[in-house]
Amino acid sequence: MVRALVLTGFGINCEEELAAAYRLAGAEAHIYHFNEVLLQQVSIHDYDILNFPGGFSFGDDIASGKVMANKIKYKQLPNGKTLLDEIKIFLQSGKYVLGVCNGFQMLVRLGLLPNIGATFTQQAALSHNDSAKYEDRWVYCKVTANSHTPFLNGISIFAVPVRHGEGKLIFADDEMRKNIIAKNLNCLTYCLEDGTTATTYPENPNGAELSCAGLTDETGHVFGLMPHPEAFLSLYNHPNWGQLKRQNPNLPDEGAGLQIFKNIVAHLNTCKLPNAEMV
C-alpha cells in the first residue's frame, strides 16, 4: 500500500485534512511532528510521499515558511546530516514530495521548487498578496498543458479554496521566468471559470507572476501549490454545492481536490506493481 507521511507541529494546522485526503484516495497516512523526524524517531524513507501541509509555521515570522525552511536546511540530525540532505536522498530513490500553502512556501525557500538545474538553491520567493490582506475564499485553477507531474494527471480546471496572506510568487529574474515557461513548470495557474488565465484581482488572489498557483520541479516528483485541494474532498465542502447539485443531479459527491491525491496514489501503485509481481 502507498504510504504518506504528513508532517505537523510549529503552527502547521492542516495535517488532518491532508491525511484524510490520502486515506480517501486509498493510501495509508501517518501524521508525525517535525521533531520526531528531526530526532530520527521517524524516517521519511519508510514512506512514498512526504507532505508539508498548510498552516502558520512559526507564526509566519520573518516570512511565511522561512523559519521552518531554515530548520530543514541547517539543523543537524543525529546522523550528522540535515533533513534537506535526507529529502534529496528520498527524491533520488524516486519518491514524491507535496507542499500545500505554507508547505509550498517552505519548498520554494528550500530550493526544492522550481529547482531548475537541480541546484537546490532558492530561485523564487513568496511575498504579500497585492491586496495587502489575507485572502480566504474560492478560486479557479487550470492545469498547464503538458504538465509532467502525476499529481495533476487528467485534471483541467477545478475550483479550490485559497487561505493565505503571502501567496504572491516572484521569480528571481526574467531568465528564470522564461525557463519556467519553457519547461512547463508553472503547472497550475489561476483562471476564470471558463479557463481564461486570471491576470488581475480578485480571480488572481495574490498577484503571482505568470498567475502561478503551483509549481513542479523538472522531474515532476516535487509539487507545491498555494490553494488547498485537501479542503475540497467532498462536494459538500463547496459553499455553493446545493445549486451545483440542482444544476447537475449526476454531479459526483467527491470534491475536485480529491483527484490530486487519487492521481498520485494510482501512479505509485502502478510503479510498485512490478515489485509486487516479483514477490
The amino acid that residue 92 corresponds to is: Q
Active site residues per annotation: 101, 228, 230
**Separation in Å, CA 205 to CA 123, 130, 208, 209:** 22, 8, 8, 12
Of the candidates 95, 98, 94, 117, the one whose C-alpha atom is nearest the C-alpha of residue 106 is 98
Contact 87, 46 (CB under 8 A): no
Of the candidates 91, 105, 216, the one whose C-alpha atom is nearest the C-alpha of residue 83 is 91
Contact 226, 164 (CB under 8 A): yes
Contact 135, 174 (CB under 8 A): no
